[in-house]
């Protein structure tokens, strides 16, 4: 089964009963791969597709919300954000500052400003306040994507979880 939507066009079948869409989207000063998928098209509502389309048009605002959620987790050394920062510091040492676009004196904040969005994935069948609707993938750069931080937001753009991958 295929779905048709004004923004996404004809959503192609991504497997038995599933749907898939992807495109490179410009936001800020970068181009990012954005995808939308669902294993069962019957679980995807018109409303969830409208929310996803609106969010794609607001990627910069969602990126800001995701970064604010990361900043909120810096103070605890047991969070995925702190572990991600420690991992990058171990791997790059003083060279890490070469990636910083702005140096404020707070190395953790500067690093979170510097990491790049390397992908955005939407799951329109996961609507609801407690469910992951969109995942932002962050890495030090597009070329250095072995260490990734995943920030999951619900369909209202609120942080649901942050994980290191």
The two structure tokens encoding residue 108: 């953790």
Contact assessment for residue 35 and residue 20, using Cβ atoms and an 8 Å cutoff:
yes
- The pLDDT of residue 84 is 96
Q: pLDDT 10s digit of each residue in the chain, 165 long? A: 567 789 998 887 666 778 889 999 998 888 999 999 998 888 888 999 999 999 999 999 999 999 999 999 998 889 999 999 999 999 998 898 888 888 888 999 999 999 999 999 999 988 777 899 999 999 998 887 789 999 999 999 999 999 998
**Count of CB atoms within 10 A of residue 109's CB?**
17
How many domains does the chain fold into? Answer: 1
Residue 96's domain comprises: 3-164
Across the beta sheet with 30-38, what order do the strands follow?
3-5, 9-13, 19-27, 30-38, 116-122, 134-139, 149-153, 159-164
- The pLDDT of residue 74 is 92
pTM of the predicted model as reported, rounded to 2 decimal places? 0.91
């Amino acid at each position: 089964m295929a779905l048709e939507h004004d923004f996404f066009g004809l959503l192609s079948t991504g497997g038995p009963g599933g749907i898939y869409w992807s495109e490179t989207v410009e936001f800020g000063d970068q181009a990012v791969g954005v995808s939308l998928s669902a294993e069962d098209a019957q679980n995807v509502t018109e409303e969830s597709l409208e929310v996803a389309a609106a969010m794609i048009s607001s990627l910069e605002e969602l990126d800001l919300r995701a970064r604010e959620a990361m900043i909120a987790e810096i103070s605890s050394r047991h969070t995925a954000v702190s572990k991600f920062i420690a991992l990058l510091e171990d791997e790059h040492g003083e060279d890490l500052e070469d990636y910083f676009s702005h140096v404020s004196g707070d190395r953790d904040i500067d690093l979170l400003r510097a990491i790049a969005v390397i992908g955005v994935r939407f799951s329109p069948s996961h609507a609801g306040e407690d469910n992951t609707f969109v995942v932002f993938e962050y890495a030090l750069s597009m070329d250095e994507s072995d260490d990734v931080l995943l920030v999951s937001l619900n369909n209202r753009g609120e942080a649901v979880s942050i994980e290191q991958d």
